[in-house]
Homo-oligomer: A and B are copies of this chain.
Amino acid sequence: MKKHYLLTPGPTPIPPEVAQKESLPILHHRTSEFSKIFMNVSESLKEIFQTKNDILITASSGTGTMESAVINLLSPGDEILVASCGNFGERWIKIAEAYGIKPTVIQVEWGKAIKPETIEEALKANPKIKAVYTTFTETSTGVVNDIEKIGSIVASTPAVLVLDAISGLGGQKLLTDDWKVDVVVAGSQKGLMLAPGLAFVSVSPKAWKLVESSKLPKFYFDYKKYKKSLEGKTTPFTPAVTLIVALEESINMIKAKGFENVLKDASLLASAARAGMKALGLELFAEIPCEVVTSAKVPEGVDGGKIVKKLREEYGVSIAGGQGKLKGKIIRFAHMGYIGKADLLVGFACLEMVLSQLGYKVEKGKGIAACEEVLLKGEAPVPANAGV
């Protein structure tokens, strides 16, 4: 009987129209009916990615696609740069190391953003670097990196730029081609308002040259197999049929609303969330906050884990806590995809109650009031770098 309110950065809530499609009688994947849906989805994703590159679709979590972007581009002994600002940035390092690739690492303090000039310096210092792996919106800290700047830096070198946009795609402006991002990996359970189980990757012609010469071993995630199958309007292995059918619906919903409007909404909600946190006296955690998830420091003397637990258990509200070294230290509210204004207000109202229950002095209604102000104004009065 418990009613759930999902304010987590993946999975995010699924619109009923999309969820219903998941339960339609299953189509066989080697039919013209499915092929039409698959190609429609593949083409439409290009608009979401803002790219002319093909989008390859795998049945996997986002991490599987991150791995695919390592094993399809690199060969043993290759030098790469990982610019990391959080838990998911570190995943690039772990994946590379699992394949015997020792990356040069730019590691900024969690909560800070990557300074594009440090990437420029690293590439100058080592012209043998073939690929730069980094993160768009770092889900674990709530930071967004300046990919436009990083893209222009990497594009002027022989290296390719590989971006984990798993939590950001569909929730925050990302111009794959204009910003010269060679490889973008993304997942289904974020801004695309779908269940987890599908992942996507766009590959530029510059990156495809690395694919051609890559010697790291692979089979299930082999881009060449996906590209060849895509030319035949199909997939190399049995696809996650019901998720792809549902994805067509969620893309249709995004198109009907207008992708620009979807991004504007996420931006407005992010702004409201920042205002709400500040009004409650919670310090924003991200140096440059992204628009898909807002992070704030847990007040002195309060256990962050308890906030998350009480919200879920007593009110059915799921938010995220801190990961890894941030465990118990921050809380995170997502506001992308099918999370609306009212959902955010529910989250803040219950947060006020839980903080109060945990002994933190909170003026009830103050966080909500600040959110309302921003939402009513319909624009973003709290600057995006308010956390500095």
Query: Is A196 in contact with chain B by the CB < 8 A criterion?
Result: yes
Of the listed stretches A57-65, A149-157, A374-382, chain B binds: A57-65
Interchain CA distance A55-B8 in the complex, whole Å: 28
**Within the assembled complex, what's the spacing in Å between the Cα atoms of A67 and B68?**
14
Tell me, rounded to whole Å, the shortest Cβ–Cβ distance linking A215 to chain B: 10
Residue numbers in B under 8 Å from A2 (CB-CB) = 33
Contact A238-B196, Cβ < 8 Å, known A11-B26, A31-B318, A220-B60: yes
Judged by a CB distance under 8 angstroms, whether A6 is at the interface is yes
What is the CA–CA distance of A10 and B237 in the complex, to the nearest angstrom? 11
Report which of B13, B62, B216, B240 forms a contact with A197, defined as CB distance below 8 A: B240
A226-282 residues with Cβ-Cβ distance < 8 A to B are: 237-243
Contact with B along A207-231 (1 / 0, CB 8 A): 0000000001111101000000000
CA distance A283 to B28 in the complex (A): 26
Minimum CB–CB distance for A373 against chain B, Å: 29
Number of interface residues of A (CB under 8 A): 54
Q: Closest chain B residue to A94 by CB distance?
A: B219
Which residues of B lie under 8 Å from residue A26 when comparing CB positions? 6, 11, 13-14, 19, 189, 195
Say whether A100 faces chain B, with CB atoms less than 8 Å apart: yes
**B residues near A218, Cβ cutoff 8 Å:** 98
Cα A16 to Cα B22 in complex, Å, equals: 11
Assembled-state Cα–Cα distance A197/B67 (Å): 18
In the complex, which of the residues B24, B33, B217, B240 contacts A217, with contact meaning CB atoms closer than 8 Å? B217
Chain A positions within 8 Å of B, measured between CB atoms, are: 2, 4, 6, 8, 10-11, 13-14, 16, 19-29, 31, 33, 59-64, 67, 94-95, 98-100, 187, 189, 195-197, 216-220, 222, 237-243, 312, 318
| 18 pairs, A vs B, C-beta closer than 8 Å | A10-B238, A11-B27, A11-B28, A19-B242, A23-B23, A31-B312, A59-B61, A59-B64, A60-B64, A62-B238, A64-B64, A98-B219, A99-B217, A99-B219, A195-B242, A196-B239, A197-B197, A240-B240
User: 15 extra interchain contacts, Cβ-Cβ under 8 A, other than A6-B28, A67-B219, A195-B240?
Assistant: A4-B27, A23-B23, A26-B195, A60-B220, A63-B238, A187-B238, A195-B241, A196-B238, A196-B239, A196-B240, A196-B241, A196-B242, A197-B241, A197-B242, A240-B240
